[in-house]
């Protein structure tokens, strides 16, 4: 494909000129500037000092997010590994505004993020959900599931099942979810500034293929939504075929109605019925489109199921109480591989239903295992917001924390024998076990920082 200035495909430029008219030059100039860097804080892992030297403006539609004046090397920040924040493009954080305007998060909710990897929007939703709510994070591409799992483990919200299915494989969970997010795979026009390679994959054919795929995903997603439940559709692109035309097609064919969002305090967002369009030359953020829909009727045709894992013996349950802040909140189950899963009591039946309805999925919050009657805590527990505050800790300086995260040896000082949660500014990074003069670093090797530390 022939390119014009700024390496944009010619047909894309033509489309944008038609869409933006006289604003096109401003749009095109903006794409030549650097993409803004923004981070969103984890509401369950608050730090008093974070980016104090780099922080600039707040993201207008997310009270817990702000811009940084430059991009630091996040890999070399232990707080990043502790899940204190997520590096996320600002326009897409408008999801929070769309959700708080359309969903009652004070209730226990069943939430499905159908196209979840790497997990930016999943973690945003987890922050809004209460501890009686269940989150299913799905990603169809197998190689992208591990980064999704890693980001969710870091985030520390315990009530998560990660699955690896095509949207159409959710048929056994018909009408189960109060909220479904379809952050659809798209032609990515809105990321041309952030990802310099993205425009090389763009073509008219790619737009048509994406649009057709989105229709198929939307149709499958519709089934999973409970009567009166909410469906959020979003893309990071501008073209009508993938955005408002797809949503119009959807409401014409499905029993859903459009939910109007109040954007009066954000005049920089364009209302493109039935949704909302974000342009980088009008606001500090990338291209994004979002629409909110509500199911009017529909069936619930899922089969409730009990968890088929074994319950943990009482003696072992007693031992677990010192590892969790609210042990009474959970029931404990034993998997075939001896892993222990902690499921909130109120959610035992919902977990059972999802675990039965999906076959390529995780089992939930795995807190560890018993080896010869001794509890071995998991990495998920170290990063979880449910870990007991009384667990013995060793708090490290930044340099020490980086050595821990590189799995290199260093002097831990003197500590009692046994398990210690390694923390940075009080936030869990992983486990170490002290045995006499020896300290074993239990950071999973796949989590190790591979980058050189200056
Ligand atoms: C826009 S990305 C999701 C980004 C993610 N929601 C976030 O905020 O971090 C779309 C995701 O959909 C996945 N995907 C691709 N084809 C799909 C399909 N047929 N069904 C469901 N998801 C698909 C892609 O692998 C990709 O991870």
pLDDT at 2 over 90: no
- What lies within 8 Å, CB to CB, of 240 at 6+ separation is none
- Mutation probe of ligand 1 site: the residue of 117, 169, 189 with most atoms within 8 A of C-beta: 117
Q: How many Å apart are CA 379 and CA 374, to the nearest integer?
A: 16
Q: What pLDDT is stored for residue 454 in this prediction?
A: 67
Confidence of residue 6 (pLDDT cuts 50, 70, 90): low
Q: What is the mean pLDDT of residues 384-408?
A: 96
Smallest CA separation from ligand 1 atom 7, residue:
120
Pure H helices in 294-368: 314-320, 348-357
Smallest CA separation from ligand 1 atom 12, residue:
115
**Tens-digit pLDDT profile for residues 85-118:** 999 999 999 999 999 999 999 999 999 999 999 9
Q: What is the mean pLDDT of residues 353-371?
A: 96
H or E, element range at 419: strand 418-424
**Tens-digit pLDDT profile for residues 188-203:** 999 999 888 889 999 9
**Tens-digit pLDDT profile for residues 266-289:** 999 999 999 999 999 999 999 999
Decide: residue 395, CB within 10 A, 0-12 exposed, 13-18 middle, 19+ buried.
Answer: middle
CA distances to 24, 93, 230, 270, 285 from 282, rounded to whole Å, are 11, 16, 28, 9, 9
Strand-pair category, 270-272 with 177-183: unpaired
Q: What is the mean pLDDT of residues 261-265?
A: 98
Q: How many Å apart are CA 199 and CA 192, to the nearest integer?
A: 6
- Mutation probe of ligand 1 site: the residue of 86, 114, 140, 233 with most atoms within 8 A of C-beta: 140
Q: Closest Cα partner for 391 from 371, 380, 377?
A: 377
Confidence of residue 438 (pLDDT cuts 50, 70, 90): confident
Q: Percent of the chain, pLDDT > 70?
A: 98
Stated pTM of the model: 0.96
* Residue-range domains of the chain with CATH: 5-295 (3.40.50.150), 303-388 (no CATH), 392-454 (2.30.130.60)
Q: Are the beta carbons of 329 and 345 closer than 8 angstroms?
A: yes
- Give the mean pLDDT of the chain: 95
CA distances to 139, 166, 170, 229, 230 from 220, rounded to whole Å, are 14, 9, 8, 15, 14
**Tens-digit pLDDT profile for residues 221-235:** 999 999 999 999 999
**Tens-digit pLDDT profile for residues 324-334:** 999 999 999 99
Confidence of residue 4 (pLDDT cuts 50, 70, 90): very low
């Amino acid at each position: 494909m022939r390119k014009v200035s700024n390496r944009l495909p010619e047909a894309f430029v033509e489309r944008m000129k038609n869409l933006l008219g006289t604003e096109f030059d401003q749009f095109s100039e903006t794409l030549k500037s650097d993409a803004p860097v923004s981070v969103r804080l984890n509401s369950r892992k608050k730090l008093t000092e974070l980016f104090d030297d780099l922080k600039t403006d707040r993201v207008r539609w997310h009270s817990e997010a702000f811009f940084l004046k430059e991009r630091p090397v996040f890999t070399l920040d232990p707080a990043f590994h502790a899940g204190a924040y997520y590096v996320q493009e600002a326009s897409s954080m408008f999801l929070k505004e769309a959700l708080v305007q359309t969903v009652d998060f004070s209730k226990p909710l069943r939430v499905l993020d159908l196209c979840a990897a790497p997990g930016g929007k999943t973690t945003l939703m987890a922050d809004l959900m209460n501890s009686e709510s269940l989150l299913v994070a799905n990603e169809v591409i197998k190689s992208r599931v591990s980064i999704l799992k890693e980001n969710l483990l870091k985030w520390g919200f315990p009530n998560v099942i990660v699955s690896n299915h095509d949207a159409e494989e959710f048929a056994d969970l018909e009408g189960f979810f109060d909220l479904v997010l379809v952050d659809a795979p798209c032609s990515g026009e809105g990321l041309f500034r952030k990802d310099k390679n993205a425009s090389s994959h763009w073509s008219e054919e790619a737009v048509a293929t994406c649009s057709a795929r989105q229709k198929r995903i939307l149709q499958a997603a519709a089934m999973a939504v409970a009567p009166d439940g909410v469906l959020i559709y979003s893309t990071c692109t501008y073209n009508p075929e993938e955005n408002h035309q797809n949503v119009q097609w959807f409401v014409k064919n499905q029993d859903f109605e459009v939910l109007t969002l109040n954007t009066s305090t954000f005049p920089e967002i364009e209302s493109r019925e039935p949704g909302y369009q974000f342009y980088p030359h009008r606001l500090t953020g990338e291209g994004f489109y979002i629409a909110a829909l509500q199911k009017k009727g529909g069936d619930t045709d899922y089969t409730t199921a009990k968890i088929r894992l074994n319950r943990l013996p009482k003696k072992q349950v007693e031992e677990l109480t010192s590892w969790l802040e609210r042990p009474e909140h959970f029931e404990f189950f034993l998997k075939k591989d001896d892993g222990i899963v902690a499921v909130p009591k109120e959610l035992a039946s919902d977990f059972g239903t999802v675990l039965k309805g999906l076959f390529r999925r995780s089992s939930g919050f795995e807190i560890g295992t018993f080896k010869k009657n001794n509890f071995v805590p998991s990495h998920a527990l170290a990063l979880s917001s449910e870990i007991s505050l009384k667990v013995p800790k060793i708090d490290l300086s930044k340099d020490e924390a980086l050595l821990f995260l590189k799995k290199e040896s260093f002097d831990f000082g003197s500590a009692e024998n046994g398990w210690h949660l390694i923390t940075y500014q009080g936030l869990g990074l992983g486990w170490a076990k002290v045995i006499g003069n020896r300290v074993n670093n239990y950071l999973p090797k796949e989590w190790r920082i591979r980058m050189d530390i200056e």
